[in-house]
């Protein structure tokens, strides 16, 4: 079979290539504007100007104030500051936190640590489309609840959560609301006032900016205890010399992606639906995971029954295509994704799930190439699957 001369990248939920214009800004910040933003001399002042301009860009993109943006090393740190910072600031008020079963490990793991320290955490279920019911949030609130942390878009199957409705509930009940928006930032409109969120996490490398940079929105009046102490940068909330190259890159990518926001995301969503319709039409025994409409523009997640996702990912890699088995963090081990299990997909099937996440630079030709080779690959893998038998058209599956 004819191979494309270049590798095809369909794993944008894991990370994205840096836009050349963004890389130039990062390069300039490293070589020309390399000053320490805490110093009063000209290079320092220049670095400070870049820092504050970047802060204003991020603030504008989510409808917040500049002083509500705290720069971090990425989504993981933003989530950690939000969770530990609130727990430490409000533990005297209560020790109960509400989250969902499908959060990223960067939310679940800090919560597990807090549980060991005596906090009580409620993990809300999701429906078969991967969506949390806002009534469940309301019903889970107690006098001890100090924080609700629900993601905007899921990293595995792209489902969008009813953040506005949850935000209304938390606001009415005077509970702090954190939202992990790492997957949705620059793909779905975010307005922190409309959402009624108090904290919101974003990350650079999901939006064509470098890795190792992110931001946390902290609403004015929300007390967050610092988790890193030192020179008092970021108004004492996150010490450490500011990563001006990364931060400038995050801001530049935000500017570029904001400029054609609707057009770009509509194009990506169109390509996603094109891919989905054809896969569902060409291949049998497939489940399209996540909500049919309420999902990230670039996210497709399929369960191919009677296939091991690791085998499928490897096979596609041989053909020069990058996709992911489950979520970015879980690809290397072939455990079924927790998010898919939470949606009620049976574990044996969930093991055959892959995420195909598209970006704005992907083309119909690239998708067609995948569509051309995939049916044969699936048939081949199924024929070699030891526990899959075919009796005429009557297929059955022996569970382990
Ligand atoms: C939903 C979500 N939250 C947090 C993170 C972690 O972000 P980072 O890689 O910037 O630490 C990711 C990354 O995959 C993610 O998808």
Q: Does domain 8-16+261-397 have CATH number 3.10.310.10?
A: no
Report the C-alpha gap between 21 and 317 in whole angstroms.
Answer: 29
**Ligand 1: which residue has its CA nearest to atom 5?**
75
In tens, the pLDDT along 87-144 reads: 999 999 999 999 999 999 999 999 999 999 999 999 999 999 999 999 999 999 999 9
What pLDDT score does 330 carry?
Answer: 46
User: Residue 105 Cα, ligand 1 centroid: separation in angstroms?
Assistant: 8
Q: What percent of the chain has pLDDT over 70?
A: 92
Q: Give yes or no for residue 338 having a pLDDT over 60.
A: yes
Task: Give, for ligand 1, the residue of 78, 101, 106, 150 to mutate: max count of ligand atoms closer than 8 Å to Cβ.
Answer: 106
| Closest of 217, 206, 252 to residue 33, by C-alpha | 252
The one catalytic residue among 179, 300, 329, 346: 329
Ligand 1 mean position to 182 CA, how many Å? 6
Q: Please list, residue by residue across 344-380, b when 16 or more beta carbons sit within 10 angstroms of its beta carbon and e when fewer do.
A: ebeeebbbbbbbbbbbbebeeebbebbbebbeebbee
More confident residue, 138 or 3: 138
Question: For residues 348 and 399, is the Cβ–Cβ distance under 8 A?
Answer: yes
Residue-wise pLDDT for 201-213, tens only, equals: 999 999 999 999 9
H, E, C per residue of 316-377: HHHCCEECECCCHHHCCCCCCCHHHHHCCCCHHHHCCEEEEECCCCCCHHHHHHHHHHHHHH
* pTM recorded for the entire structure: 0.94
Say if ligand 1 is within 6 A of residue 57 CB: no
Q: Is the minimum distance from the CB of 76 to ligand 1 under 6 angstroms? A: yes
Q: Whose CA is nearest to atom 9 of ligand 1?
A: 75
Binding site membership of 357 for ligand 1 (Cβ less than 6 Å): no
Q: H-type helices in 117-180, by residue range?
A: 134-140, 163-172
How remote is the CA of residue 67 from the centroid of ligand 1, in Å? 23
Q: Exposure string (b/e) for 220-234, b if CB count within 10 Å is 16 or more?
A: eebebebbeeeeebb
Residue 298 has pLDDT above 60, yes or no: yes
Report the percent of the chain where pLDDT is more than 90. 89
User: Is 329 one of the annotated active-site residues of the chain?
Assistant: yes
Q: Are 67 and 260 in contact (CB under 8 A)?
A: no
Structural element, H or E, at residue 288 = strand 286-288
For residues 235 and 233, give the distance between their C-alpha atoms in angstroms, rounded to a whole number. 5
pLDDT of residue 335: 60
Domain residue limits, the chain: 8-16+261-397, 20-259
Fold (topology level) of 20-259: 3.40.640
pLDDT-derived band at 2 (thresholds 50, 70, 90) equals very low
| Per-residue pLDDT at 154 | 97
Average pLDDT, the chain: 93
Cα gap 219→200, rounded to integer Å = 9
Ligand 1 proximity of 150 Cβ (cutoff 6 Å):
no
**pLDDT recorded at residue 388:** 66
327 by Cβ neighbours in 10 Å (0-12 / 13-18 / 19+) ranks as: buried
Does the beta carbon of 207 lie inside 6 Å of ligand 1? no
d(CA 324, CA 314): 10
State if residue 253 touches ligand 1 by the CB under 6 angstroms criterion.
no
pLDDT score for 387: 64
Q: How far is the CA of 106 from the centre of ligand 1 (A)?
A: 7
> Is pLDDT at 328 greater than 60 in this prediction?
no
Sign of CA dihedral 87, 88, 89, 90: positive
- CB of 204 within 6 A of ligand 1: the answer is no
Do the domains spanning 8-16+261-397 and 20-259 agree at the CATH topology level? no
Q: Is the pLDDT of residue 155 over 70?
A: yes
Q: Which atom of ligand 1 is found nearest the CA of 154?
A: 1
Residue from 155, 202, 299 whose mutation best tests the ligand 1 pocket (most atoms within 8 A of CB) = 155
How far away, in angstroms, is 240 Cα from ligand 1 center? 21
Quick check: CB of 257 below 6 Å from ligand 1? no
- Distance of alpha carbon 121 from alpha carbon 112, whole angstroms: 8
The band of 394, judged by pLDDT with boundaries at 50, 70 and 90, is: very low
Find out whether the beta carbon of 209 lies less than 6 Å from any atom of ligand 1.
no
- In the three-class reduction of DSSP (H, G, I as helix; E, B as strand; rest coil), residue 4 is classed as coil
pLDDT tens digits for range 238-294:
999 999 999 999 999 999 999 999 999 999 999 999 999 999 999 999 999 999 999
Look at ligand 1, atom 7, and give the residue with the nearest C-alpha.
Answer: 75
Residue 327: band (very low, low, confident or very high) from pLDDT cuts 50, 70, 90: very low
CA distances, 72 to each of 42, 89, 142, 191 (Å): 25, 19, 31, 20
């Amino acid at each position: 079979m004819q191979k494309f001369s270049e590798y095809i990248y369909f794993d944008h939920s894991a990370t994205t290539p840096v836009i050349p214009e963004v890389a130039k800004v990062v390069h300039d910040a490293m070589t020309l504007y390399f000053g320490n933003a805490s110093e009063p001399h000209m290079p320092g002042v220049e670095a400070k100007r870049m820092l504050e301009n970047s802060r204003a860009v991020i603030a504008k993109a989510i409808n917040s104030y500049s002083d509500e943006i705290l720069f971090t090393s990425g989504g993981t740190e933003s989530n950690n500051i939000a969770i530990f910072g609130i727990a430490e600031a409000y533990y005297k008020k209560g020790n109960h936190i509400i989250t969902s079963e499908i959060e990223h490990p960067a939310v679940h793991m800090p919560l597990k640590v807090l549980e060991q320290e005596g906090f009580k955490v409620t993990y809300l279920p999701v429906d078969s489309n991967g969506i949390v019911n806002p009534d469940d949030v309301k019903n889970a609130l107690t006098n001890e609840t100090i924080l609700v942390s629900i993601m905007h878009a899921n990293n595995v199957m792209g489902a969008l959560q009813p953040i506005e409705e949850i935000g209304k509930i938390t606001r009415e009940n005077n509970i702090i609301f954190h939202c992990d928006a790492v997957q949705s930032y620059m793909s779905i409109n975010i307005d922190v006032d409309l959402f009624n969120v108090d904290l919101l996490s974003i990350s650079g490398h999901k939006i064509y900016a470098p890795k190792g940079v992110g931001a946390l929105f902290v609403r004015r009046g929300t007390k967050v205890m610092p988790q890193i102490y030192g020179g008092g940068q970021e108004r004492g909330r996150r010490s450490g010399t500011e990563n001006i190259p990364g931060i400038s890159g995050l801001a530049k990518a935000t500017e570029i992606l904001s400029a054609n926001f609707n057009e770009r995301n509509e194009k990506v969503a169109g390509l996603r639906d094109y891919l989905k319709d054809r896969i569902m039409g060409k291949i049998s025994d497939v489940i399209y995971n996540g909500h049919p409409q309420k999902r990230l523009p670039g996210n497709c997640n399929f369960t191919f029954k009677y296939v091991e996702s690791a085998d499928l990912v490897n096979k596609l890699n041989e053909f020069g295509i990058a996709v992911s088995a489950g979520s970015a963090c879980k690809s290397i081990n072939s455990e079924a994704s927790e998010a898919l299990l939470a949606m009620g997909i049976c574990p044996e099937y969930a093991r055959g799930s892959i995420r195909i996440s598209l970006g704005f630079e992907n083309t119909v030709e690239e998708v067609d190439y995948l569509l051309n080779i995939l049916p044969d690959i699936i048939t081949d893998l199924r024929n070699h699957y030891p526990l899959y038998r075919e009796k005429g058209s009557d297929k059955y599956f022996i569970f382990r």
